[in-house]
């Protein structure tokens, strides 16, 4: 989905690039209320978890202050500024569909949704910065998201971002997001500067415990594959890389015991849960056949996988039918990935084409589940 090279830390020590403002980006966990004739109100998830049925509409902060060149011979533009500029250019390429809340609201209307959940873009997780800059940027993004929600309370709720490179700052910002700003959880990337989320150096157990205590969701969205150099051709970094990155991260959360230690933790996986959600039997076989797959967890891996939540972006009704049958309609949220080219253009049509899906189950998937997870009054 994004340039493979963006996975490399840009400039860990640069503090000169600042975000002047945060505009809405395009991923929306939207709580969509269906407005079609004869249909009941429903929530729709647009993108990566959107509220009331839709996934979060991504919001990009971005005006950049140019750092001075400093000493003679130093590059006039820092790596951090180039990274921010890259994000801005990607956002601008999609225009106001991604950055203007009014345009996102129109997209919700087009999909028969009345409310959407907005979040930052996945490339706005500034884990490569110094912790102090990381939390500053996170606060700027989160404050802007809160402003958007306050301006359009009937259309949006939001997920924030936290600096995972420093767990104490991340926990504090998560608490601020929920208790002060009214955000409904956070969006995170599946890895932090090359480290898995369960890496002991990150100490993210504190964050998972806090999210469970606050009863908010963690939406784990990838930004391509960590070893993106192998996936440069044919748009593989998105087509293959995004589901693979989600698969690896979710597997670590399961096998390293996070889901066992925090049984009420709400993890939402985009892109229909990656490959793991559809090839779980191999994981269970490994647990039976290999002692090194049983070093932490007591139950089969699929038991913990079933505690997670998945969006509907399968692009195929039969694949979606099997996923609903495996994990239950209560763990599937409508997704669109608007406005990206790998998004689902007709999410309601996809769900409606699933054979044998009951009306009550469809209502849950199209909005009820997102409303419940995001605490949206219907």
The pLDDT tens digits for 149-194 are: 999 888 889 999 999 999 999 999 999 999 999 999 999 999 999 9
Q: What is the pLDDT of residue 74?
A: 37
Percentage of residues in the chain having pLDDT higher than 70? 68
Q: What is the pLDDT of residue 100?
A: 59
pTM of the model: 0.77
Percentage of residues in the chain having pLDDT higher than 90? 61
* Complete DSSP assignment for 192-246: ETTEETT-TTT-THHHHHHHHHHT-EEEE---S-TTGGGG-GGGHHHHTHHHHHH
State pLDDT tens for residues 322-371: 999 999 999 999 998 878 889 998 999 999 999 999 999 999 999 999 99
Contact criterion met (CB below 8 Å) for 283 and 301 = yes
In order of their start, the domains of the chain are: 24-59+96-374 (3.20.20.140)
Rounded Cα distance between 365 and 223, Å, is 25
Its sign, for the CA torsion 24, 30, 31, 35, is positive
Contact criterion met (CB below 8 Å) for 308 and 250 = yes
- State the first-to-last Cα distance of the chain, in angstroms, to the nearest integer: 33
Rounded Cα distance between 303 and 313, Å, is 22
- Hey, what are 157's tokens? 């709720």
117 forms bridges with which residues in the sheet?
157
- The mean predicted confidence, pLDDT, of the chain is 79
- Hey, what are 376's tokens? 């949206």
CA 208 to chain centre: 15
Q: What is the pLDDT of residue 64?
A: 30
Give Cα separations from 101 to 151, 216, 314 (angstroms): 10, 24, 27
Q: Which of 39-48, 209-218, 268-277, 307-316 has the lowest mean pLDDT?
A: 39-48
Q: What is the pLDDT of residue 337?
A: 86
Q: Residue 122 has what DSSP assignment? A: G
Do the bridges between strand 116-120 and strand 53-61 make them parallel or antiparallel, or are there none, so unpaired?
parallel
Q: What is the pLDDT of residue 110?
A: 54
Its sign, for the CA torsion 268, 242, 31, 84, is positive
State pLDDT tens for residues 247-293: 999 999 999 999 999 999 999 999 999 999 999 999 999 999 999 99
Rounded Cα distance between 202 and 317, Å, is 39
């Amino acid at each position: 989905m994004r340039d493979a090279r963006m996975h490399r830390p840009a400039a860990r020590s640069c503090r000169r690039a600042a975000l002047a403002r945060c505009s809405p980006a395009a991923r929306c966990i939207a709580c969509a209320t269906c407005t079609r004739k004869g249909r009941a109100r429903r929530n729709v998830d647009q993108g990566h978890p959107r509220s009331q049925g839709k996934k979060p509409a991504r919001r990009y902060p971005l005006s950049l202050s140019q750092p001075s060149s400093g000493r003679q011979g130093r590059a006039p533009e820092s790596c951090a500024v180039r990274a921010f500029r890259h994000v801005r250019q990607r956002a601008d390429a999609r225009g106001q569909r991604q950055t203007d809340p009014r345009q996102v609201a129109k997209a919700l209307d087009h999909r028969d949704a009345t409310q959407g959940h907005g979040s930052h873009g996945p490339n706005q997780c500034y884990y490569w910065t110094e912790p102090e800059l990381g939390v500053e940027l996170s606060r700027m993004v989160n404050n802007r998201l809160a402003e958007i929600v306050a301006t359009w309370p009937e259309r949006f709720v939001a997920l924030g971002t936290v600096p995972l490179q420093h767990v104490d700052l991340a926990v504090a910002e998560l608490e601020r997001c929920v208790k002060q700003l009214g955000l409904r959880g956070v969006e995170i990337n599946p890895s932090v500067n090359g480290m898995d989320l369960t890496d002991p150096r990150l100490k993210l157990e504190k964050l998972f415990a806090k999210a469970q205590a606050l009863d908010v969701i963690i939406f784990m969205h990838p930004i391509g594959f960590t070893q993106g150099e192998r996936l440069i051709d044919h748009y593989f970094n998105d087509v293959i890389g995004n589901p693979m990155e989600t698969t690896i991260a979710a597997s670590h959360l399961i096998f390293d015991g996070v889901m066992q230690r925090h049984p009420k933790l709400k993890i939402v996986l985009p892109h229909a849960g990656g490959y793991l959600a559809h090839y779980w039997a191999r994981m269970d076989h490994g647990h039976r056949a290999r002692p090194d797959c049983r070093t932490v967890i007591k139950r089969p891996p699929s038991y913990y996988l079933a505690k997670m939540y998945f969006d509907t972006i399968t692009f195929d009704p039969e694949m979606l039918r099997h996923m609903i049958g495996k994990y239950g309609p209560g763990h599937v949220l409508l997704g669109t990935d608007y406005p990206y080219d790998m998004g689902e253009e007709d999410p309601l049509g996809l769900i409606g084409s699933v054979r044998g899906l009951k009306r009550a189950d469809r209502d849950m998937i199209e909005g009820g589940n997102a409303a419940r997870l995001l605490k949206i009054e219907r």
